[in-house]
Amino acid sequence: MNYKLKCSILEKIEEGEELTEGDERRIKEILRKELEFIIRKNILPTPRNFERWFYIFCHIVELNIEPSDDEILDLYIKSFSEDSNSSTKLITLHNIFSEVIGSLNITVSNIKDFDKSIEEEGKKLEGYQDIKTDLKGILDTLNGLREQNKSLVDKLEKQTQELKALRRLLGEKEKESSYDLLTGLRNRRSFERSLKELFRYSKENKFPLSLIIMDIDNFKDVNDTYGHLEGDKVLIKVGSILRNYLRARDIVARWGGEEFAILLPGTTREEAIRVAEKLRTILENQSFTSDDGKTYGITASFGVAEVDSSIDSPEELFKAADRNLYKAKKLGKNRVVG
């Protein structure tokens, strides 16, 4: 574990100490927050995942803090990365709702099959007229089971529909709060939260952290020549390229207008320059076609900076990258300065 998590309750349990009523209340609060988060972020509740996320939320509850979802995910990365010098990846996010809904559907199907068997066996028994009186109690029991099954099926099917609706709602709310609706990238507020947390971790643990600021060159010309809808198509395409060519752990956001910010955990300045140069080449070789059939291309300029002893805040890191972006523009655009 690369990040020291505080969880005194688990320490007490491991040492065999008796838990107080306050400890029991905290455990309930930890479990409530953990389960809400697991459902909200579609995390598969395997025993290993459940144990790890309990540590995270125990730490959060005992410190009495209210981090954002992005900050919680970043805390997970810091705490459970296999190797701080290698590629750090989040656990694969599975759709817990789909798992639960699938289980409910199987349960409903099994209950319906059982109900059908009860009905068939009941009809067989009804055929024995001479002992019908003696079997009345059994038949009544079977009919009672069928009524209970019907009630249970109704409840489970209703719960399935509610889960599906909740899944849709949570997905919409999460997207609205953390993502730019045009490009699908992180929005500025979400990026700033991640930058703040990762900067602090980088300073405390001497963990490499680099920032790239990218700006599409002469983007105003695209809007003026082909219209703002065409400009939006360019932004969407650029967003897609950034998602596809960056690592899963890299954090990329649309900072504003035609400017993008990329946070690279575990990456030195030299490595970040190579990443920026790769992106610059990819964008330079893209071809776009306007609605009137005209083909055109774009370029972008990049400023790169890394956390070092001279940088004391996230704001200073951003300013350093922004200064290098300005230099790239002054030097003729379509280049990387770091």
Q: How confident is the model at residue 96 (pLDDT cuts 50, 70, 90)?
A: very low
**Same-domain status, 268 and 328:** yes
**Same-domain status, 327 and 208:** yes
Residue 9 has pLDDT above 50, yes or no: yes
Residue 2 lies in a domain: no
Give the span between the Cα atoms of 129 and 249, in whole angstroms. 72
**Same-domain status, 106 and 215:** no
Structure tokens at 20: 């107080």
**Same-domain status, 265 and 316:** yes
* pTM, to two decimals: 0.52
Quick check: is 258 catalytic? yes
Residue 278 lies in a domain: yes
Catalytic residue among 34, 71, 258, 306: 258
pLDDT digits (tens, 9 = 90+) for 259-281: 999 999 999 999 999 999 999 99
Residue 23 lies in a domain: yes
**pLDDT (0 to 100) of residue 17:** 72
Domain count, the chain: 3
Q: Last residue of some domain: 152, 178, 204?
A: 178
Residue 318 lies in a domain: yes
**pLDDT (0 to 100) of residue 12:** 75
**Same-domain status, 105 and 236:** no
Q: How confident is the model at residue 8 (pLDDT cuts 50, 70, 90)?
A: confident
Residue 1 lies in a domain: no
For CA atoms 314, 315, 317, 321, the dihedral sign is positive
Q: To the nearest 10°, the Cα dihedral for 75, 81, 85, 87?
A: -100
pLDDT digits (tens, 9 = 90+) for 151-162: 666 666 666 666
**Same-domain status, 216 and 288:** yes
Decide which of 228 and 51 is more confident.
228
| Mean pLDDT, range 97-125, rounded to an integer | 56
**Same-domain status, 324 and 195:** yes
**Same-domain status, 101 and 12:** no
CA 238 to each of CA 133, 182, 197, 298: distance values in angstroms, whole numbers, following the listed order: 78, 11, 26, 10
| Mean pLDDT, range 25-49, rounded to an integer | 77
Q: How confident is the model at residue 169 (pLDDT cuts 50, 70, 90)?
A: low
Give the span between the Cα atoms of 281 and 337, in whole angstroms. 14
**Same-domain status, 170 and 194:** no
**Same-domain status, 67 and 129:** no
| Mean pLDDT, range 321-325, rounded to an integer | 97
Q: Which residue range(s) make up the domain with 23?
A: 8-80
